[in-house]
Every structure is written in C-alpha cells, then in structure tokens.
Chain A
C-alpha cells in the first residue's frame, strides 16, 4: 500500500485529533480516583495537532491530495484526485480552527467545572468538532463535504444542549437541530444535482466540467447548476449563520454554555467559509453568474438584519450572535466581489481570509471577557456589565478594544480587514453592497457602545460589588487576543502576504478571469 505514508503524513493533524479524542473520552476508564484532567489532555491534543499542521505547512508547502484512487497498475498522474487535499488553504483553516479551539479551551476551562458530570464527553465532543472543521477545510469530495458538515452540525447540537438540566440549553439545541436537519436535506438535494450532471462526487472533476461545459454534454448546463448551487449554498449558509438561515443562532448562542458559544461563533463560521470558498470561488468561479446574485442577497440581508437586530438585545451573548451574523455578512462581501482589484496587496479572496483571521482573534478575545464576566456575576445580561471598569479594568478595557476592532476603528486589526473587504467590493463592482456595509458598520457602533456605557458609566444601585478575580487562563487568552488585534492592525504586512499566498493557492485562475 503506497498510500499509508502519505496518509500518515498529510492527514496527521486529523489522526492526532482522533487519537486524542478517544483518549479524552476513555480517560475515566484508565485513570481512577483523580481529578479529571480531560481539559488538559484536550489542550495538549490541540497543541500537538497545531504543531503537526505548522510542520507540514513549513516543510511541505504545495498541494498534497490524500486518499487518492489510483486503481491497481495505474500510471502516475492518472489517479482520481484525493478525497481530501492538504494544501496551503487547508493549512490556513486548520491553524485557525485549532488556534481558536485552543483559546476557547483555555478561557473556558474553569467554566465547565462543576457544571457537568460529563467532562470526558464534553472535551471529546470539542475535539471531534475541530476534527470536523479540519475535514471541511480540506474536503475535496462532495461526500466528504456533506459528512464533515453533518459531523460538525451534530457535534454542535450536542454541545449546545450540553447543560441539559437547563431548559434553555435544551431548547436552543433543539432549534439548532431542527433548522440544521432541514438545511442539510436541502444541501444534499443540491449535491445530488451536481452528481447527476457531473457524474462524479469529486470536486476537481466537477470543477473541470464547470470550466469547460462541453464536457458535461448537457445543453443549458448553467441553468441546472443554478438551483443545485443555491441549495448547496443554503446548507453552507446555515453553518455560517447568514440571513435568512440564521434564526437558530441567537437562541443557540444564548442557550449554549458560553465557551461553546465562543466556539460556535468562530469555528463553524471559519470552516463554512473554507467550504464556500473552495467550492464556489475555487471550483465554480466560471459559473459565478449562477451564484453571485444569490450570495449578494445573503450578504446584504446578513449585514442589515444582523446589525439592526443586535440593537435591541439585552443579553450580550444574543447581541454577539447578531454581531457575528453581521460580521459573516462582511466576510461574504469579499467573496461576492470576485475579481476585485488588489488593494494593499490583497485580492478579494485574500481579503476574506484576512478578515476571518482577524475576526477569530477579536471575537474570541471578546468572548473570553464574556465568559469571565458570566463566571463572576452568573449572567450574560447587559446589567452584569455595570461598573465593570471598576471591578476589573483589564476586562473592561480589552472588551472595548475588541469591540472597536469589530466596528473597524483604526489602528486595530478589524480596520484593515474591513478596509480590504470594502475595497475589494468597490473595485469588484459591488459598490451598493459596500455602501450598505459602511452604513451598517456605523449602526453597529450603537450596540457595542451600549455595553461600553454600562461598563464605564453604569452606576450600580446595590452598592459597590467587589473586584472580579480574573483567572490565569482568561488573562492569557485576553492578552493573546489583544496582542493579535494590535499587531495585525499596526503591522499587517506579513499577515497580508500570508492571506494572499493562501488565496492564490485556492484560486490561481482568478487573476486571469478577473473582472466581470
């Protein structure tokens, strides 16, 4: 079997996650009578997978298909492309997913303590969610894409409903599940069309037909692709929580244990964009007429509904749900500005990747603060933030920085990201969407400022609550996120180069086909 070395090498981050997940799950069986260390084991597993990914990325750049189908006696080069592909694009999203999970695990470690007896299951589920995200990042076959999305969904449903003695948690999980099963069905229906037209589930094979419709020998190929791609888009948009596939997200975000909320706001979104970009921009960019309109509509609705609905939320987790819907809208803005001019060295896909990178750190930093506040006050309502500046200046000031970055204020990371995305939109012929983006960005100041006002100027009626003791894990995560928000904002060049290289690895033909 010539495949085994290649699988062991290029699939190693995923294999590490599987082994780690099984160890965490069975920890109780082989270590008895000790305080459970499952959280630490999960952190170690994530770090190992992260190291493996970085080593792969540095030592073996380029595209490496894994799980190829060559058949006995087939000559080299005649293989069916692998079901999973390990390239720069995969590495980028692997690193983001693993880093994000690491920050969530560190900042949420103490939160789950005492809240559930199922520690092993909780951390095993988190690790399997990361595994699913990694698979989504590198999936090169419709079956793997569908399964990985389903894997991530089912894991997320369980994690949302994890605190089952909390009625809210179960309700949120159930809503998430019902929406998810319907959009999954729609996505699979769309994929059946792709298979029917292309005769293959392999994404590169389908991409070849998309570039050269003669191969399909179907007249009106593009017409058939319209509903197929729209249905697939529905499944992905559900994972990213784009309007109108977002109704589950405020309930799920509010109901889930807060570390899970932090994870949901970052992990599935990034992984969803990985699939979206690989499928639509990487493979079906020649059919952009079939999907640009639909996607532009989703983008518009997400920016408007997300930002407007966030205005009236009294619960910070719910507000962050709408805020993250709006942020996803901005990311999608970069995707629909296909062929936008290079701005600050970033083309449109590069701008999206850069945006996701900054979003992961900024949002996780904000959530680290939210977790810490909820642990101290037992609530995520707006009132819990009253006088936070007196109680913990570190948390209050960093939350302000994260919010400013989410709004897009210079010199923070969010500013560069928004500038790049809006720039791509203006040069890519999506000027109206860019205008809406800027205007809704202004609206977003209002709801972020609502929290800030409580923290700095809110006077507590019930005397002066004492200072909040901030745990080491939270401090670490907040500082890392602060550092990244500032460094990426002040010194964006290396990150721009990174995002651009990754973008070119997925869509090399984009420059040639640019403009529309």
Chain B
C-alpha cells in the first residue's frame, strides 16, 4: 500500500467516525462540530483527488458559512438536549436494520460486481475525464488549464452552453427558496393580517 492509499484510508475512517459522532451526539452543538470535522475531511479528500479549487470551496462554503449558520440556529433555538426527540426502540431497530441491509447490499454488489483489480483498471482506462485529469500534470487539451484549477472549473461552467441550464436553474432555485422563507417564516404583516380571515371558514381552531 503506497502512502497515498494509506492516507486515503486514514481520512476515510475518520470521516466515517465523525459521521457516526454527528448522528449519535446527545448535544446538538457537538453534533454540529462533528459535522464540521466531516466537512473538513471531505475537503482533504478533494485535495487528494487533485482538486484544490473544489477543496477550497468546500472549506469556505460548507465548513465555513453553512456551519456558522447551523450553529447560529442551534444556539438561537437552544435545542441542546436531543433526548426528547430520540426515536422509540422499535423504530430505532428498523432504522439500524435498514442501514445495515443497504450497506451490506452495496458492499456486496460493488465487491462482487467488480472483480478484483477492476476498480483500478476502471480508473486507468474508462474515466479519462475524471481519473486522467486526476493525475498530476494532466491538462485540459483545449485550454491547457490544469485539472482542478479555478480556470478549468470556470471553463467547464462557462465556455460552452452545456452547463448553462443547471447554473441558471440553481440561481432560480435560490430565488424560490427565498420566496419560501419570506412566505413561511415572516412575522407580522405576513399571511394573516393583510389577508383577512385567519382560518378557513368552517374549520375549528387548532
């Protein structure tokens, strides 16, 4: 096992551990901190794949901005003790069983479906766009941009119209989410006062 692989396994094990930590944490703040750890480790994984730009974005956006938001919400709502919301015994057993079944099925399929050595061969031959760029020194044939560089990400997004749909769709999606926040979460003027009847006619108050 070369050092790169060893490093990968170490990171992967840590990721699994932090994921478990997040799910099992009694204190919500601890859970969020485990999640930060998981996000940082994901960034390390991206670095291993020679994608420094994505790694940086992962750190700034997920480990940075989004986690601050999470912590903010947790602290504001003060939901520190999760023992009340823990699932009942039966449901927990079903959940664990479902996870185990899915996990072992996937492991079985990947192990049996891919004979030994195929995964490596797959990376070598079949995925030039992913794996070949992943090796050092490989450049985009058209622009000469190095794999994972901001330039290449930018060119993939903007040079050709292929990715315009997803790109613009995401912008619209943010607009829709914002509308949702305004409608559902706003106080005061929202929904009721300006609109007249607080209840649908004929319905009892809840």
Contact of B177 among A84, A154, A227 (CB under 8 A): A154
Cβ–Cβ contact A118 & B182, under 8 A: yes
Q: Mark A212-255, 1 if CB is under 8 A from B, else 0.
A: 00001111110110110000000000000000000000000000
Smallest Cβ distance from B79 to chain A, in angstroms? 16
Cβ–Cβ contact A116 & B195, under 8 A: yes
Any chain B CB within 8 A of the CB of A425? Answer: no
Known interface pairs A144-B169, A151-B172. Does A158 touch B180 (Cβ–Cβ under 8 Å)?
A: yes
Cβ–Cβ contact B161 & A117, under 8 A: no
Contact of B200 among A80, A83, A166 (CB under 8 A): A166
What residues on A are CB-neighbors of B176 within 8 Å? 125, 128, 151, 154-155, 158
What residues on A are CB-neighbors of B189 within 8 Å? 117
Smallest Cβ distance from B56 to chain A, in angstroms? 21
What residues on A are CB-neighbors of B166 within 8 Å? 83, 141, 143-144, 147
What residues on B are CB-neighbors of A3 within 8 Å? 161
Most chain B Cβ neighbours within 10 Å, of A72, A199, A221, A377: A199
Contact of B169 among A69, A148, A223, A377 (CB under 8 A): A148
Any chain A CB within 8 A of the CB of B66? Answer: no
Cβ–Cβ contact A154 & B201, under 8 A: no
CA distance A124 to B190 in the complex (A): 17
Any chain B CB within 8 A of the CB of A495? Answer: no
Cβ–Cβ contact B160 & A217, under 8 A: no
Q: Mark A58-71, 1 if CB is under 8 A from B, else 0.
A: 00000000011111
Known interface pairs A220-B113, A224-B110. Does A135 touch B190 (Cβ–Cβ under 8 Å)?
A: no
Any chain B CB within 8 A of the CB of A168? Answer: yes
What residue in chain B is nearest A171 (Cβ atoms)? Answer: B206
What residues on B are CB-neighbors of A70 within 8 Å? 160
CA distance A84 to B164 in the complex (A): 10
What residues on A are CB-neighbors of B194 within 8 Å? 117
Q: Mark A135-168, 1 if CB is under 8 A from B, else 0.
A: 1000001011001101100110110011111111
What residue in chain B is nearest A375 (Cβ atoms)? Answer: B201
Smallest Cβ distance from A223 to chain B, in angstroms? 3
Cβ–Cβ contact B115 & A216, under 8 A: no
Q: Mark B32-72, 1 if CB is under 8 A from A, else 0.
A: 00000000000000000000000000000000000000000
What residues on A are CB-neighbors of B200 within 8 Å? 115, 163, 166, 378
CA distance A83 to B160 in the complex (A): 11
Known interface pairs A199-B128, A227-B106. Does A147 touch B114 (Cβ–Cβ under 8 Å)?
A: no
Known interface pairs A125-B179, A199-B127. Does A218 touch B165 (Cβ–Cβ under 8 Å)?
A: no
Smallest Cβ distance from B50 to chain A, in angstroms? 17
Any chain A CB within 8 A of the CB of B3? Answer: no
Which residues of chain B (159-181) have a CB below 8 Å from chain A?
160-166, 169-170, 172-173, 175-177, 179-180
CA distance A80 to B113 in the complex (A): 29
Any chain A CB within 8 A of the CB of B85? Answer: no
Any chain B CB within 8 A of the CB of A309? Answer: no
What residues on B are CB-neighbors of A377 within 8 Å? 202
Most chain A Cβ neighbours within 10 Å, of B106, B114, B161, B163: B161
Q: Give the contact-size bracket for chain B.
A: 35 or more
What residues on B are CB-neighbors of A80 within 8 Å? 162
Any chain A CB within 8 A of the CB of B135? Answer: no
Cβ–Cβ contact A199 & B197, under 8 A: no
Which residues of chain A (327-378) have a CB below 8 Å from chain B?
377-378
What residues on B are CB-neighbors of A406 within 8 Å? none
Any chain B CB within 8 A of the CB of A18? Answer: yes
Contact of A219 among B114, B127, B129, B177 (CB under 8 A): B114
Cβ–Cβ contact B126 & A67, under 8 A: no
What residues on B are CB-neighbors of A170 within 8 Å? 184
Any chain B CB within 8 A of the CB of A488? Answer: no
CA distance A162 to B190 in the complex (A): 11
Any chain B CB within 8 A of the CB of A133? Answer: no
CA distance A199 to B130 in the complex (A): 7
Cβ–Cβ contact A220 & B114, under 8 A: yes
Any chain A CB within 8 A of the CB of B17? Answer: no
Contact of A115 among B110, B114, B195 (CB under 8 A): B195
Smallest Cβ distance from B177 to chain A, in angstroms? 6
Which residues of chain B (138-166) have a CB below 8 Å from chain A?
142, 160-166
Contact of A135 among B122, B142, B165, B175 (CB under 8 A): B165
Any chain B CB within 8 A of the CB of A82? Answer: yes
Q: Mark B120-134, 1 if CB is under 8 A from A, else 0.
A: 011001111110000
| Top-7 shortest CB links A-B | A378-B202, A223-B113, A69-B162, A158-B180, A220-B113, A378-B201, A117-B194
A-B contact pairs, 11 of them (CB 8 A): A1-B161, A70-B160, A71-B142, A128-B176, A131-B172, A135-B169, A166-B199, A217-B126, A220-B113, A224-B114, A379-B203
* Extra A-B contacts (9), CB below 8 Å, given A84-B165, A199-B130: A70-B160, A114-B195, A128-B172, A143-B163, A151-B172, A164-B183, A220-B113, A221-B113, A378-B202
Interface residues of A (CB under 8 A from B): 1, 3, 7, 18, 25, 67-72, 80, 82-84, 114-118, 121-122, 124-125, 128, 131, 135, 141, 143-144, 147-148, 150-151, 154-155, 157-158, 161-168, 170, 173, 196, 199-200, 216-221, 223-224, 226-227, 377-379
